[in-house]
């Protein structure tokens, strides 16, 4: 593949905080699909460690989880030669562009962010300025790379909207400096719900028993799925509204086995919830084994992971620097 062809691909940017376990929901809904995008997009997968600082973190744990996330990305099939997997803090242009963009972002816009309001309630003892300006850093992450496509969940969609607003405002003043990004939506993505509360999406920030991590041991997976919420009925049917727990288990089985939901329901016809949980457990353990085996190899080779992060940060930085120089010139900063 030539460098010319790579440059003509539209750019896709995704950022994930190294703040907790990556769940099977993250894998099924996002990471697994990213592997399929390499032929269509030039992909940047940023480990957004600066974003993670809006909540107090134990420093050693944050460093460890950063390395773990990089290893997991690769273990899931994202080739670091074809995709840019790097740490946000290793590319200083992210922070530099954030300051410029903050001067083109209005307080009223930021105060309307629903995620700021929600996190302020859960972190009432630490409502910091970084939490308030989080969307500006996210805008810088995206706009630095002239990103066309951003895959986001419902909780981040509002942040992409303000990114678009900032880009359009800046462009209206200085010309076509930034590409205005679009939301990327998978054609069909299984939505994996919490094991303990299937009315809510599975989240790494919830209690550990409510999610399955990509690094959970077989025993942990068996325990969690055995305790997964179903309902008082015994009929196995896909009905997310009336049978959310059972439907969630069907979705997990379908997504990892490759069978359709209809075929999955047919497979479990006449069987009980015990059979459903047992077979879901087996398919989860079987699906995660090659990822865990590869991860265990990678995590032992810190020199390799460090090399990947260093090399990819340099590659990302060369792209980011072009955008930042253009921005500095447009706003009137004297350049040497």
The reply to whether 289 belongs to the active site is: no
Cross-strand bridge partners of residue 193? 201
Cβ–Cβ under 8 Å, residues 12 and 43: yes
Q: Which two tokens stand for residue 234?
A: 């015994």
Is 277 among the residues known to form the active site? Answer: no
In the set 9, 38, 191, 204, the catalytic residue is 204
Burial 291-320 (b: 16+ CB within 10 A, else e): bbebbeebbeeeebbeebbeebbeebbebb
Of residues 119, 224, 243, 277, which has the active-site annotation? 119
Contacts of 260 (CB under 8 A, 6+ apart): 254
Dig out the tokens for 178 from the structure. 């930034």
Any catalytic annotation for residue 38?
A: no
From 201, 224, 243, 277, active-site residue: 201
Q: Residue 120, exposed/middle/buried by CB under 10 A (0-12, 13-18, 19+)?
A: middle
| DSSP element (H, E) containing 5 | helix 3-8
Question: CA–CA separation, 46 vs 66, rounded Å?
Answer: 10
CA distance 126 to 204: 20
CA-CA distance, 124 to 198, in Å (whole number)? Answer: 27
Q: Provide the token pair at 40.
A: 């269509």
Residues belonging to the active site: 119, 201, 204
């Amino acid at each position: 593949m030539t460098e010319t062809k790579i440059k003509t691909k539209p750019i896709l940017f995704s950022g994930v905080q190294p703040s907790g376990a990556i769940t099977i929901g993250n894998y099924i809904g996002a990471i697994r699909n990213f592997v399929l995008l390499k032929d269509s997009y030039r992909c940047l997968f940023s480990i957004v460690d600066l974003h993670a600082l809006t909540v107090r973190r134990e420093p050693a744990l944050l460093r460890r989880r950063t390395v773990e996330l990089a290893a997991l990305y690769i273990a899931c099939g994202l080739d670091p030669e074809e995709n840019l997997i790097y740490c946000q803090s290793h590319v200083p242009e992210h922070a530099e562009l954030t300051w410029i963009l903050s001067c083109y972002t209005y307080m009223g816009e930021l105060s309307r962010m629903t995620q700021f309001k929600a996190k302020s309630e859960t972190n009432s003892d630490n409502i910091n300025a970084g939490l308030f300006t989080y969307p500006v850093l996210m805008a810088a992450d995206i706009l630095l790379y002239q990103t066309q496509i951003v895959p986001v969940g419902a909780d981040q969609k509002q942040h992409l909207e303000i990114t678009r607003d900032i880009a359009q405002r800046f462009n209206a003043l200085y010309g076509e400096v930034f590409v205005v990004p679009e939301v990327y939506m998978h054609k069909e993505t299984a939505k994996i719900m919490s094991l303990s509360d299937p009315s809510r999406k599975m989240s790494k920030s919830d209690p550990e028993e409510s999610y399955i991590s990509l690094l959970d041991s077989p025993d942990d997976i068996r325990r969690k799925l055995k305790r997964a919420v179903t309902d008082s009925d015994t009929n196995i049917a896909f009905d997310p509204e009336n049978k959310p727990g059972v439907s969630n288990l069907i979705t997990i089985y379908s997504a990892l086995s490759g069978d359709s939901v209809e075929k999955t329901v047919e497979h479990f016809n006449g069987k009980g919830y015990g059979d459903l949980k047992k077979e879901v457990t087996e398919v989860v353990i079987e699906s995660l084994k090659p990822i865990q085996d590869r991860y265990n190899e990678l995590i032992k080779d810190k020199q390799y992971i460090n090399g990947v992060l260093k090399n990819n940060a340099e590659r990302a930085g060369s792209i980011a620097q072009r955008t930042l120089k253009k921005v500095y010139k447009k706003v009137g900063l004297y350049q040497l």
